[in-house]
């Protein structure tokens, strides 16, 4: 790609401050900016780098105030981070779109493959599966029987989609994601062994969902595990059987959700959050990394921290005391010792 600052500003509805003909051909982090690159400044932590960056163009928020001279051409926009995402999406759209079936792939005769679909080598599309128009299915993907995949999806190498699962339009499944594996259902027996409970349901993933590398979404025991539209799941997440995740909820790496829990829309969960089974989580909840949720959450007015999870203000107050425990313990020991000495002295005085 090659674009001028003026073209980029027009596309982003921004204003140019500097050379409107400055050309860019690649993206750079602001601390590693080079001539011909475009960078962005959204986090104030990185402000010092804008004065030394060699990038040709830098996206900044409209309210940015420079304290020193800047050699780069600036493009002022409402939200530099959001505009960078928009610009990168546009750049990616210029990449060649594959639309063929490679020779080493296998598509069952009863499967239906739409127009403009790419199917890579060593991919297997099972009987009665449906792949929508312009979807990209990269090598070594398994698509099970009766699976439905919508239009304009990207299925990266090594993805496994088990039978009967439904994937919406414009979804992205990153490498190694597993959709529809059996839920963790085992019935304890009188002799102490466990008997497997057949998992007869499926997984339904709605439109515009992205599921990242090595994340597993288990099929339902009965009915469906449901990932609503716009959900973004990071790498190495476990979604248990019969879980439902509300629209536009985002989760960072290593979140674990036990079976039959219902999570509302527009929630944000940090890395390694653990959620017990059969819970209801309200819309709009923010949960900090490593928190453990053990009961229903009905109020999203305050973020949750800690394990068990609690209101963040309560957690911070408790944490202050926790850090003082060694000092408190030492003082208690001294007080206990002094009390014992005083009691002993009183006993001697009464003899």
Residue from 68, 97, 241, 312 carrying the catalytic annotation: 241
Convert the pLDDT of each residue in 275-296 to its tens digit. Answer: 999 999 999 999 999 999 999 9
Strand spans (E) along 78-220: 106-107, 112-113, 118-119, 124-125, 130-131, 136-137, 142-143, 148-149, 154-155, 160-161, 166-167, 172-173, 178-181, 186-188, 194-196, 202-205, 210-211, 216-218
Q: How confident is the model at residue 319 (pLDDT cuts 50, 70, 90)?
A: confident
Name the residue among 218, 130, 224, 132 with its Cα closest to residue 169. Answer: 132
First to last CA, the chain: 98
Domain map of the chain by residue range? 3-92, 106-312, 320-351
241 an active-site residue?
yes
Q: What is the pLDDT of residue 341?
A: 84
Average pLDDT over residues 12-21: 95
CATH classification for the domain delimited by 106-312, as one of 3.40.50.300, 2.160.10.10, 3.40.718.10, 3.40.50.620: 2.160.10.10
Mean pLDDT of the chain: 94
Convert the pLDDT of each residue in 113-152 to its tens digit. Answer: 999 999 999 999 999 999 999 999 999 999 999 999 999 9
**pLDDT for residue 93 is more than 80:** no
Give the Cα separation of 293 and 132 in Å (integer).
Answer: 38
Give the Cα separation of 91 and 59 in Å (integer).
Answer: 16
**pLDDT for residue 95 is more than 80:** no
Convert the pLDDT of each residue in 203-217 to its tens digit. Answer: 999 999 999 999 999
CATH 3.55.50.30 fits 3-92, yes or no: no
Task: Give Cα separations from 88 to 28, 29, 81, 124, 125 (angstroms).
Answer: 11, 13, 11, 31, 31
């Amino acid at each position: 790609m090659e674009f001028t600052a003026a073209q980029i500003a027009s596309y982003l509805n921004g204003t140019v401050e500097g050379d409107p003909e400055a050309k860019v051909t690649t993206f750079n982090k602001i601390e590693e900016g080079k001539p011909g690159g475009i960078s962005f400044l959204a986090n104030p932590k990185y402000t010092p780098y804008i004065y030394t960056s060699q990038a040709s163009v830098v996206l900044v928020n409209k309210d940015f105030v420079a304290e020193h001279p800047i050699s780069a051409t600036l493009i002022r926009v409402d939200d530099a981070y959001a505009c960078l995402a928009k610009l990168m999406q546009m750049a990616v759209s210029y990449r060649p779109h594959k639309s063929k079936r490679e020779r080493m792939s296998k598509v069952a005769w009863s499967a239906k493959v739409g127009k403009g679909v790419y199917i890579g080598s060593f991919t297997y599309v099972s009987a009665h599966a449906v792949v929508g128009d312009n979807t990209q299915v990269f090598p070594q993907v398994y698509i099970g029987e009766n699976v439905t995949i919508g239009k304009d999806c990207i299925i990266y190498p090594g993805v496994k989609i088990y039978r009967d699962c439904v994937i919406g339009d414009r979804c992205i499944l990153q490498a190694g994601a597993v959709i529809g594996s059996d839920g963790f259902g085992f019935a304890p027996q009188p002799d102490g062994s466990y008997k497997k409970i057949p998992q007869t349901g499926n997984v339904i993933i709605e439109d515009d969902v992205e599921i990242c590398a090595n994340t597993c979404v288990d099929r339902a025991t009965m009915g469906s595990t449901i990932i609503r539209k716009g959900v973004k799941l990071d790498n190495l997440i476990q979604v248990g059987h019969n879980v439902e995740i509300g629209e536009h909820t985002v989760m960072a790496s290593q979140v674990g959700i036990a079976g039959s829990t219902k999570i509302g829309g527009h929630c944000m969960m940090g890395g390694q959050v653990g959620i017990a089974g059969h819970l209801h989580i309200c819309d709009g909840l923010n949960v900090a990394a490593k928190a453990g949720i053990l009961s229903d959450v009905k109020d999203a007015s305050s973020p949750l921290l800690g394990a068990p999870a609690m209101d963040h203000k309560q957690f911070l107050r408790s944490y202050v005391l926790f850090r003082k425990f060694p000092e408190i313990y030492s003082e208690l020991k001294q007080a206990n010792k002094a009390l014992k000495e005083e009691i002993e002295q009183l006993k001697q005085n009464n003899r």
